[in-house]
Structure 1
Amino acid sequence: MKKNNDVLRKEVVEAIKWEPLLRSNEIDVTVQDGIVTLGGTVDNYTQKKEAEQAVKSIAGVTGVVDDIKVDLFFSAIKSDTEITAAVSKALHENWAVPDHRIQVTVENGWVTLEGILHWNFQRKAADNAIRYLAGVRGVIDNIKIEAEIKDDLTKEIVEKALRLSWILDFDNIKVRVEGKTIYLSGIVDSLFQKDEAERIAWNTPGVWYVDNEIVVEFN
C-alpha cells in the first residue's frame, strides 16, 4: 500500500534521527508523492551524504532531492589551496584511484573532479576518498568513463549480470544497449534496487555510460 506523505515524512525523520553522525533538528524534510526533499544545514559534506543515503533506504521513497547546505564551523574552514592539497593526497593514497588521470580544482570549498577513467568504481572511489576531508562543502563530479576494453557491449551480457542479483526482480527490468551506452528501464520497489541495477550495469566490461530510467513504485 502506498504511504501517504505524513507517514513517509515521519519515517524519514526517524531514520535521520537514527544516524549517529546527524542531528535531525538541522535537517528539514518535506515529502510529496514519495519524493523526499531535504533542506537545512549540516556541519560537513559527510553529513550531507549520510542524510541522503539514509533516506534512500526507506521503503516508499521514490526520489530524493538533496538541498542541504554545508555550513562549516570556523575551525573547519580551510583555504582552497589547503583543500586542493588534501584532496590530491587522499586520491594518491587510495589504491583504487588512478590519480594521475584526475584533475582537481577547488573554489569556495567546492571540489571539482575532471578527467577520464576506465571504470565507474574508480570514480566512486575518488568521491569516497575526499568525503571526510575537512573544509569540503561539496563535490562536482565531471569525470568521464572511457573503458579500455574494446569489445562490443551486448544486451545479453548485461541481462545475465542483472539476473544473478537476488535483490532484483529481473522480469521488471528492461535493458537496451547502443554502442557503449546501457539504457535501463522498468519498475522496481525501492531506490536501493534502482541504484543496485545501475551499479551492476556500470560493472559491465566496456561500458562508457549508463542511462538509468528505472521508475520506483512502492505498492
Structure 2
Amino acid sequence: MKTNEELQRDVQNAIKWEPLLNAAEIGVTAKDGVITLTGVVDSYSKKTEAENAAKSVTGVKAVAETIEVNYGSSFKKNDTEIANEVLNAWKWNWEVPADKIKVKVESGWVTLEGELEWNYQREAAKKAVANLTGVKGVSNNITIKSESKDAVEQAAVECALERSWSIDDEDVDVKVKGNRVTLTGTVSSLYQKDEAGRLAWNAPGVYSVDNELLVDFDD
C-alpha cells in the first residue's frame, strides 16, 4: 500500500511526464488514495489531461479535480463564436452525427444534449469540443439508445474484458439485465475501471453501464 507521500509523488511525476502540462501550474495532494488537483491552466484540454494522468497512476482510488481554466484578459471569444466552432469541429469528424446533437454555451461552458446510437459517438463529440479554445468545461448529457432491440449478450461483454491486456477479468463480474450492464468487483487503478466501462459500452444494444468497480491496490 502506497503512503500518501508516495502516491502524491507518483501523480506529480505522471503530470510532469505529459508534454502538454506544466507541473508548476498544478497542485497535487493525496489522502487515503484520493487525489486532489488544484491550480489554473490556460485550456480545457490541459485540465482533462491532468485528470487523466492522475487516473493512470496505480493506487489512485478517486480524483477530485478543481483546476480552473483561465484564458487571460486578452481572450475575446464569446459564447456564440464558441458554439459555431463546436459545430464546425463536428463537420470534420466522421464519428459525430452532428444533426442529432444540440449544443448550448454559457460563459464558456458547453452542454451537449441529444440521443445517439453508440457511446463512442458521444465520447467523440466531447473530445472534439474539449480541444477548442475558449471552452472552460463540458457537460455531456447525450444519452445512448441503440437501434438494436435485442438484450445485451453477457458473454460478449465478458469476452471483451478477457481480451484486454490491462484488465484482470477474473476480478470483474458482469451482470446484464435487458440493455443495462453492471460491472462489479475490483481493479487496481482508475484507468482499469474506465477501460472496463469503455469496453462494456462497446457491446451492441447497450443503453447504460453501471460501473461499480472498486479500485483496490495493496501492493
| Structure 1 and Structure 2 fold alike (TM over 0.5) | yes
2:196 equivalent to 1:197: yes
Q: When the two structures are superposed, what TM-score results if normalisation uses the length of structure 1? A: 0.96
Q: Which amino acid is the alignment partner of residue 51 of structure 1?
A: A
Name the counterpart of 1:99: 98
2:170 equivalent to 1:176: no
Deviations 1:33-60 (A, max 9, x none): 1111111111110110110111111111
Classify the secondary structure of the residue corresponding to 2:6. helix
Name the counterpart of 1:62: 61
Name the counterpart of 1:81: 80
For residues 11 and 168 of structure 1, the distance between their equivalents in structure 2, rounded to whole angstroms, comes to: 21
**CA pair 19-76 structure 1, distance change in 2 beyond 3 A:** farther
Cα displacement (A) at 1:10:
1.3
Classify the secondary structure of the residue corresponding to 2:59. coil
For residues 124 and 65 of structure 1, the distance between their equivalents in structure 2, rounded to whole angstroms, comes to: 21
Conserved in 1, the CA contact under 8 Å of 2:8 and 2:30? yes
Q: Which amino acid is the alignment partner of residue 93 of structure 2?
A: N
How many residue pairs match? The answer is 218
Deviates more, 1:200-209 or 1:165-174: 165-174
2:208 equivalent to 1:209: yes
Cα displacement (A) at 1:164:
1.8
Cα displacement (A) at 1:77:
4.0
Classify the secondary structure of the residue corresponding to 1:76. coil
Gaps of 5+ in 2: none
Conserved in 1, the CA contact under 8 Å of 2:179 and 2:206? yes
Cα displacement (A) at 1:166:
2.2
Conserved in 2, the CA contact under 8 Å of 1:44 and 1:135? yes
For residues 43 and 25 of structure 1, the distance between their equivalents in structure 2, rounded to whole angstroms, comes to: 13
Conserved in 2, the CA contact under 8 Å of 1:162 and 1:200? yes
Which 4+ residue blocks in structure 1 deviate beyond 3 angstroms? none
Cα RMSD after superposing both structures: 1.1
Q: Identity, % of aligned pairs?
A: 51
Q: Which amino acid is the alignment partner of residue 7 of structure 1?
A: E
Deviations 1:147-184 (A, max 9, x none): 01111113222112212222211111111111211000
Gaps of 5+ in 1: none
Q: Which amino acid is the alignment partner of residue 113 of structure 1?
A: L
Deviations 1:100-126 (A, max 9, x none): 000000000000000000000001101
Name the counterpart of 1:18: 17
Q: When the two structures are superposed, what TM-score results if normalisation uses the length of structure 2? A: 0.96
Name the counterpart of 2:130: 131
Deviations 1:178-213 (A, max 9, x none): 121100000011111111111110000000000100
For residues 74 and 132 of structure 1, the distance between their equivalents in structure 2, rounded to whole angstroms, comes to: 20
